[in-house]
Amino acid sequence: MATFKAPHIPSSEITAESVYLQRRQFMKVAGLLAAPVMGGLALDTKAAPMTGGVSLDYQAAASGPEGYWTDEDATPAGDISSYCNFYEFGTDKGDPAKYSHEMSVDPWTIEVVGEVAKPGKINLEDVLSRYALEERIYRLRCVEAWSMVVPWVGFSLANLIKDFEPTSKARYVAFETLYRPSEMRGTRSYTSTIDWPYKEGLRMDEAMHPLAILSVGMYGKTLPNQNGAPVRLVVPWKYGFKSIKSVVKIRLTEEQPPTSWQLSNAREYGFYSNVNPEVNHPRWSQKYERRLPSSLFSPNRIATRKFNGYEEQVASLYAGMDLKKNY
């Protein structure tokens, strides 16, 4: 299945500010940040620069199978971290960059429950020491018809799920974002139509697919809060809203779980939400997308590809399914 290609330059090597730390050194930094506040000397992660982050040690994408990376131009880090959808902080594209520093991401725990033999919690430090990090350079296609190419750093979601030992009843995987109104001004808005916490879901075989990752970084560094720090899902063949940010809970279920966008508008947003230029959104076409960076004078409009260009890797998951009905 895997076709290997010649190595290319890892994105981190083309970032000027990139400094490599060994995993051990990174753990030391992470451990330090996790230490309790002593003698008034607060090591506050909120004070960290938004796109600064800590360097991660990871394997470059080029060593993985095709689909794990693309040689299309990566969207600059500054665009990825300033043009965001993270409704917990507001609905304007600039709101997450402005307000997500109000979210404290340390300490951080993911709870895995439901149809698993070993339900439990894992904290971020353990996640980082347990799962080898890899770079994945993926296209991300928002349902609003803009797109980016993001050099993520993360690990296979399947590896984490397997460690909690799914039971034979596990058919779906549900995810939840942190819900902490005091730190998330968008959740305090009376006009919000989202039923918090933000919820997403995948079918079990989608969740176990090697392209589905939990991301802890981009451009070689830990994620900026606005991109879903400290850990978020990335499912590159689906519309961006499936890639739920700042995950605190994973529940394996027998029944298809409700998702935030389906709950808010089921006619417009389906459970599957696979990128599909042949199925228009009720209010706009999905045939084209604006690849960021894009401007009025150079809109950078390109054709949208089925399954966002990952058809070869994922089409078999949907064999025999009517993708117009199961949108």
Ligand X SMILES: Nc1nc2c(c(=O)[nH]1)N[C@H]1C(S)=C(S)[C@@H](COP(=O)(O)O)O[C@H]1N2
Quick check: 138 binds ligand X (CB under 6 A)?
Answer: no
d(CA 240, CA 9): 26
Tell me: does residue 245 bind ligand X (CB under 6 A): yes
Q: Does 219 bind ligand X (CB under 6 A)?
A: no
* Strand ranges inside the chain, DSSP E: 109-114, 120-123, 134-141, 146-156, 172-177, 199-203, 213-218, 221-222, 232-234, 247-253, 288-291, 301-303
By CB under 6 A, residue 135 contacts ligand X: no
Rounded to whole angstroms, the Cα distance separating 167 from 137 reads: 32
By the rule CB under 6 A, 291 interacts with ligand X: no
How far, in Å, CA of 97 to CA of 78, rounded?
Answer: 10
Angle, vertex CA 92, rays to CA 245 and CA 307, nearest 5? 50
| 294 touches ligand X by CB under 6 A | no
Is 244 annotated as ligand-binding?
Answer: yes
Which residues within the stretch 200-259 sit at the binding site for Mo ion (CB under 5 A)?
Answer: 240-241
Whichever of 209 and 245 has its CB closer to ligand X, that residue is 245
Stretch that binds ligand X, among 53-61, 82-90, 289-297, 314-322 (CB under 6 A): 82-90
**Pick from 116, 10, 6: which is nearest to 56 by CA?**
10
Q: Is 243 in the site for ligand X (CB under 6 A)?
A: yes
Q: Is 88 annotated as a binding residue?
A: yes
Closer residue to Mo ion (CB): 142 or 212: 142
> Are the beta carbons of 17 and 41 closer than 8 angstroms?
no
Q: Which is nearer to ligand X, 10 or 197 (CB)?
A: 197
What is the three-class DSSP state of 196? coil
* Residue 168 marked as a ligand binder: no
Residue 99 is assigned to a ligand binding site:
no
User: Exposure of 220 by Cβ count < 10 A (0-12 exposed, 13-18 middle, 19+ buried)?
Assistant: buried
In the complex, the smallest distance separating the C-beta of residue 143 from ligand X, rounded to whole angstroms, is 7
Q: Does residue 177 belong to the site contacting ligand X (CB under 6 A)?
A: yes
Residue 69 sits in the site that holds Mo ion (CB under 5 A): no
Q: What is the dihedral of CA 90, 92, 96, 102, to 10 degrees?
A: -40
Sorted by sequence, the CB contacts under 8 Å of residue 248 that are 6+ apart come out as: 108, 109, 110, 111, 176, 177, 178, 197
142 is in an annotated binding site: yes
Considering only residues 117 to 146 of the shown chain, the ones binding Mo ion according to CB under 5 A are 142
96 binds Mo ion (CB under 5 A): no
Binding site residues for Mo-molybdopterin, as ranges? 87-88, 142, 177, 227, 232, 243-245
Contact residues toward ligand X (CB under 6 A) are: 80, 84-88, 140, 142, 177, 198, 227-228, 240-241, 243-246
